[in-house]
Amino acid sequence: MKLRKLALRSLVALLLVLAIVPAAFAQSGTAKVRVIHASPDAPAVDVFVNGDRALTNVPFFTASDYLDLPAGTYRIQVAPTGQPASAAVIDANATIAAGKAYTIAATGPVAAIKPTVIEDDLRAPAAGNARVRVYHFSPDAPAVDVKLAGGDTLISSLAFPDASGYLEVPAGSYDLQVTPAGGSAVVIDLPGTTLEAGKIYSVFATNVVASITPEVAVTTPAATPSTLPATSEGASAPLALVGALALGLIGAALFMRRRAAL
C-alpha cells in the first residue's frame, strides 16, 4: 500500500514537472504515452526531467495508464537513488509525436538495459469484440506461442522484446496459454480470462524465465482507465501508476526488484 501511495505521489510530481516544460520543447498537440518497467534485476534510481527530480525509488514491475503528454522533446536523466542529476548513468532526449500512442518499456537485465518503444493502436474494436496484444518482455525466455488451451495457436514465434499484432475476438471467457514456440510446455497459464466488449487487453510476459509472470492491463478506448481482467482463479496483476515520459525513454531503468504474482 505504501508503495502504491508513493507511486501515485510520484506521478503527480512528474505531471507537474511536465506541465512547466519550456515552450521551446513543445510541438502542437499531444501524444498518449504508457511506460512499463520490465527490467527484472535493476536497483532503485531517481529520474530527472529537464533537470528536475521527478521520481524516486520506482520498482519492478510497474506500468502507467496511457497519459496525454505534450508532443515534443524532453531531456531524461537517471541516477542512483539519492544522487544528483550530474551522477546520471543515463542521459538522453525523448521525442514523442502528436497524435500517436506509445508503450515505452525498460527491457532486458540491468547489464544490458535499454528502452523499447512500441507504437500502439488504440482504435476501438468492432461492436461485441475485444482486442488483445501480447508483449514479450522476459529477457531470457525463448520465442513463444500464445494459444487457446488445447486449441488453436493465436500468436506464433513472438520474440523478446517485441509485441504481437492485435487480435480481435468476440467478448467472452478464454483459457489462454503461453508456450515456447513450437512446443507444448506451458510457461504462462491464464485460465478463464474474461475479455469484455469494447476493451483492449495488453498481456505482458515479464521477469526471467524461471519465474516468468503475466501482467495484464486493460484500456477502454477514448477513456483509457486501467483495470484487470478476472480469471477463474480470482487472481489479479498489480499495476501501480508511475510517471509517464520520464520512465519511458530510459524505461524506468535500474529499479528495485520486486516479485509480482498474477
155 or 44: which leads in pLDDT = 155
Average pLDDT over residues 251-261: 32
Give the predicted TM-score (pTM) of the model.
Answer: 0.73
| Torsion angle of C-alpha atoms 181, 183, 188, 190, degrees rounded to 10 | 100
Q: Which residue in 258, 260, 245 sits closest to 105, CA to CA?
A: 245
CATH at residue 210: 2.60.40.2630
133 with 64, same domain? no
CA 87: distance to chain centroid?
26
- Asked if residue 259 is part of any domain, the answer here is no
pLDDT in tens, 82-96: 889 998 766 777 788
Co-location of 158 and 246 in the same domain? no
* Nearest to 145, CA basis, from 136, 137, 1: 136
By the 8 A CB rule, do 80 and 89 touch? yes
Element (H, E) at 17: helix 2-19
Three cell numbers written together for 233: 482463479
Tens of pLDDT, residue by residue over 118-174, are 999 999 999 999 999 999 999 999 999 999 998 899 999 999 999 999 999 999 999
pLDDT band at 55, cuts 50/70/90? confident
Could you give the number of structural domains in the chain?
A: 2
Q: In a 10 Å sphere around its CB, with 0-12 CB exposed, 13-18 middle and 19+ buried, how is residue 51 labelled?
A: exposed
Say yes or no: 104 and 59 in one domain: yes
> What range defines the domain where residue 103 resides?
2-120+240-250
| Res. 28 pLDDT band, cuts 50 70 90 | low
Q: Which three cell numbers stand for residue 78?
A: 537517471
Instruction: Give yes or no: residues 222 and 149 share one domain.
Output: yes
Whether residue 234 has pLDDT greater than 60: no
Instruction: Please choose, from the candidates 49, 55, 53, 96, the residue with its C-alpha nearest in 3D space to the C-alpha of residue 73.
Output: 96
Is the pLDDT at 249 greater than 70? The verdict is no
Percent pLDDT > 90 in the chain is 42
